[in-house]
Amino acid sequence: MQAEKQNAKSLDLDAARVSHSSGYLTTNQGVGISNTDDSLKAGKRGPTLMEDFIFREKITHFDHERIPERIVHARGSGAHGYFQVYESLAHLTSAHFLSDPKLVTPVFVRFSTVAGFRGSPDTVRDVRGFAVKFYTEEGNYDLVGNNMPVFFIQDAIKFPDLIHALKPEPNNEMPQAASAHDTLWDFVVNTPETMHNVMWLMSPRAVPQSYRMMEGFGIHTFRLVNAKGEFKFVKFHWKPLLGVHSLVWDEAQKIAGKDPDFNRRDLWEKIEEGQSVEFELAIQVLNPEDEFKFDFDVLDCSKLWPEELVPLQRIGKMTLNGNVSNFFAETEQVAFCPGNVVPGIDFTNDPMLQGRLFSYVDTQISRLGGPNFQQIPINRPLLTVNNNQRDGMHRMTIDEGQTSYYPNSLNNGQPHAARPDESHFEHYQEKVDGHIIRERSASFRDHYTQPAMFWNSMSDWEKKHIIDAFRFELGKCKNKSTHQKLVDMLGNVDPELAQKVAEGLGVTAPAKRAKPTTFSSPALSMANTPKSPKTKKAAVLVAEGFDRAQFDAVTTALTGSGACFDVVSCHLGPVTACDSSTVEANKTYATTAPVFYDALYIPGGSQAEILKGIPEVQEYLRDTFNHYKTIGLSGEASALLCLLRCEEQKEPGIICDPAPNMESYAADFLAALTAGRHFQRKIH
């Protein structure tokens, strides 16, 4: 099948590829170099000479190797892949890549955190960026979004204030990649429109388990325009086929210290192992006559469209199957701009979107050194660029010919304006009538109904996560008045939420008031996400004398389901089982940790007594239990449950049997792993 063979790394990047696998060293001018270890000196111990052009070129390039990092979304990871629509959407849009199910469109995706610098950890509490560049036959289309469907603010003019408040404080540049500090929450309590996105930020969505297991949203309302010039409002969603899954906060903090590259490494390794990363593209479509039928404004990006009111349609699938060859050249230099659209996709008057249309281009010009950033290989469209733009810093094309203007006669009027039968972009002709005014629509003023809807939609464990997150974040703020103001704001969302957060912060809960809504949207809860054992990983702890039959039964079940495992022991290399066979330990207690696994399994055998005396085994049991993950203990290893010092065998997700039937035991262990976190468990 064509799609299975497609790899977007075969876009027009080949001309820029250099393998450096053979040949001699040269300067950037192609001059051969016989020694790049010693600078040119006046005598072996004398001063370096300015005429050493080889040294100057090498050190000058090194001095300028780093470009300004992104102000937001600096910490990112990228991957190549392709997209195919399931059925033609020609009735909705003239965009060719959405109208031909046979067409395979190359894509490049960049996932990111928002607040931190390039060197910050992956697992911080933060919004995640989810940006997709489609290399379509009609030009590049960029769908630039986040893993949360709403935004903090409603108008782009406030964006500098939001980011200044979110970033490390300017007097001491702390904290790094964290929202738990005074300036962010001072901004929040003085800006009620932030409340909806803040609720998402305090939810488990802010600590995704992997980039492969988080949703993506276009956030804004766009238009789809068909060949007849008819339009529909649309919102875009990316749905991971593995479901939406998160870390717990203690786990996220520990991972940040043990492996700051946790999410980046996961994405890279899964693609390297040949496990494609898959997302379905879904849309919500709204007829223009229904623009004002809801109690929220469809152009307000701090609001979502509940799926119960505007159903979701899954229209195609994106498969990521190629890692980058050079992180800087591709992931770091890729330039996304919401204004990069193709015929059939158009904008709306969302004031946040309108500001982004300017801001992104302006940012890329500054970050990538001039107006020619589109000519960097990762940013080039598939089709030939044909216009009269010339010169500028870092121009990479040699534009031949006498003319660089239109209209002209000297070049026979070429390049010419696109004719009606040639692909070209036309803005939807919306009639606009109004006073020039610096004011916000009254329809944008409800800041609490949808946060209340989000809270109503959460499961018990998600609500607990949100309460604990507010307590943690505000507990880091030194300005006590901010605590009270935030709790008062939460009183407009839900009395229980405000009461619980107030108790944790030692402030007064607001007087109970009517909730703005009792409406809930089950689609917003991660409790309803798909669950699968695929790509999940278990830690299997072994020592000399482990029961090989029990080991084989569980590990065979894991690999047969699409899951995987690491064999963890005190040392790398072979470990001898009770039947004198061996297995290879590929991890040690020093090189890995329980936070990197979805489950823990310990087979029986005489090894149980050995493991009981290893302190790290207790750590594995404790962290796996406290992070609500599956624990499997079979045969003699069942006695290790005593290391948890309570009756955990009765808790969900503990598969413990001193005399197991291994066929049924392995099935039970796999079922518990597939179920995911066992949040019904009582953590002591």
Active-site positions read 73, 146
532/523 Cα distance (integer angstroms):
18
Count CB neighbours of 362 within 10 A.
10
The angle at the Cα of 607, spanning 606 to 613, to the nearest 5 degrees, equals 120
- The candidate with the shortest Cα–Cα distance to 147, out of 230, 218, 202, is 218
- CA geometry: angle 454, 246, 509, nearest 5 deg: 40
From residue 311, alpha-carbon distances to 143, 236, 282, 308, 607 in Å are 20, 12, 10, 6, 55
Ranges of beta strands (E only) in 527-674 are: 537-541, 564-569, 573-576, 582-585, 587-588, 599-602, 630-634, 654-657
Q: Which residue's structure tokens are 């152009």?
A: 299
- H/E/C letters for each residue in 514-532? CCCCCCCCHHHCHHHCCCC
Q: How far apart, in whole angstroms, are the C-alpha atoms of residue 124 and residue 101?
A: 39
What residues does 605 pair with on adjacent strands? 546
Taken as a whole, the chain contains a residue count of: 684
Place of tokens 């906060």: 249
Structure tokens of 319?
């498969």
Q: Which of 197, 200, 34, 211 is nearest to 111 (CA)?
A: 211
| b/e map 379-406, b = 16+ CB within 10 Å | bbbeeeeeeeeeeeeeeeeeeeeeeeee
Kind and range of the H or E run holding 679: none
And the tokens for 76?
């990112």
The stretches of 230-285 forming alpha helices (DSSP H) are 249-258, 262-272
Per the CB < 8 A criterion, the answer to whether 607 and 544 are in contact is: yes
Taking the CA atoms of 304, 308, 310 and 311 in sequence, report the sign of the dihedral they define.
positive
**C-alpha distances in Å from residue 597, one per residue of 94, 127, 306:** 45, 23, 34
Which of 647, 572, 637 is CA-nearest to residue 600? 637
Half-sphere CA count of 298, side-chain side, radius 13 A: 23
Compute the distance between CA of residue 511 and CA of residue 306 in angstroms, rounded to an integer. Answer: 29
**Alpha helices in 458-494, H assignment, sequence order:** 460-475, 480-490
In degrees, rounded to 5, the angle at the alpha carbon of residue 383 between the alpha carbons of residues 80 and 385 is 115
Sequence-distant (6+) residues with CB within 8 A of 428 are: 223, 225, 229, 231, 346
Q: How many whole angstroms separate alpha carbon 374 and alpha carbon 377?
A: 8
From CA 640, how far away is CA 106, in angstroms rounded?
51
Q: Residue 202 and residue 209: Cα distance in Å, rounded?
A: 15
Q: In this structure, what token pair is assigned to residue 334?
A: 């890729």
Comparing CA positions, the residue from 479, 492, 489, 418 lying closest to residue 453 is: 492
